[in-house]
Amino acid sequence: MNADELTGQARTHIATLADPDCMLHAQVVQPFLNLRRAAKTQGFDLKPLSSFRDFARQLEIWNGKFSGARPMYDVSGVQLDAAALTPFERVNAILLWSALPGASRHHWGTELDLVDGLASASGYPDKLTQQAFAPGGPFAPLAEWLDIHAPRFGFFRPYQGMRSGVQPEPWHFSFAPIAELARRALSPKVLRAAIAAAPLLGKELVLAHLDELHARYVATIDLP
């Protein structure tokens, strides 16, 4: 991937699927469909709630949270009051759950937020919460199946709460063969160029601390 693809400013690497409705890196399409087919044989309907996300969408999410227009949450999932936080506290609070524009793994088309569509069809709303994937939750059976079988198709969970500063996301799966190449290519220099040209709220603060933010929230993940 080139710099624009890495930072979500181009989608020349992306293919669009109709069934299921999602956008993925062209080389991730078949591995995902293979995983989905295997899940279906076991009674699961792999439903992507999020796949490729471009820079503009990530910027909208970031600015909404930084300004207080969108909710921010602490490590326990309790909503925070943006007005009560210093600008740097806002930056770190956002990064617990959302990536910097240009640094989202979803820019690469290698990432999927997955739920079981059959559980959704039975009346459970599509909520990406840790409780929904924990034992007793509606998506727990799918989570257990993916724990065992997703690696056979090249997918893993990059955020498990062990190394990365990002909170555990049991719904988030990444296609390792391509995502690892992208993670290593997304240097602070590449990220800095993307952010410097954007109307990012808190930009001066982010750029002043970019190396440490990159190290904690971009370069460090829970490797497969």
Q: Which domains does the chain have, with CATH numbers?
A: 3-219 (3.30.1380.10)
pLDDT at 124: 64
Question: Which amino acid is it at 103?
Answer: A
pLDDT at 125: 63
Q: Which stretches of the chain are DSSP H helices? A: 3-6, 29-41, 55-67, 87-95, 117-121, 130-133, 140-149, 176-185, 188-196, 203-208, 210-214
pLDDT at 165: 82
Beta bridge partners of 16: 23
pLDDT at 123: 63
Global confidence as pTM = 0.91
Strands 46-50 vs 14-17: parallel, antiparallel or unpaired: unpaired
CA 179 distance to own-chain centroid: 12
Nearest to 31 by CA among 173, 210, 185: 173
Please list the pLDDT of the chain residue by residue as tens digits (224 residues).
999 999 999 999 999 999 999 999 999 999 999 999 999 999 999 999 999 999 999 999 999 999 999 999 988 888 999 899 999 999 999 998 899 999 999 999 999 999 999 987 666 666 788 888 999 989 999 999 999 999 999 999 999 987 888 888 999 999 999 999 999 999 999 999 999 999 999 999 999 999 999 999 999 998 77
Query: Encoding tokens for residue 40?
Result: 């279906």
pLDDT at 130: 85
pLDDT at 77: 81
Q: What are phi and psi of 156, to 5 degrees?
A: -150, 170
14 three-class SS: strand
Residues in the chain: 224
Cis peptide before 71 (omega within 30 of 0): no
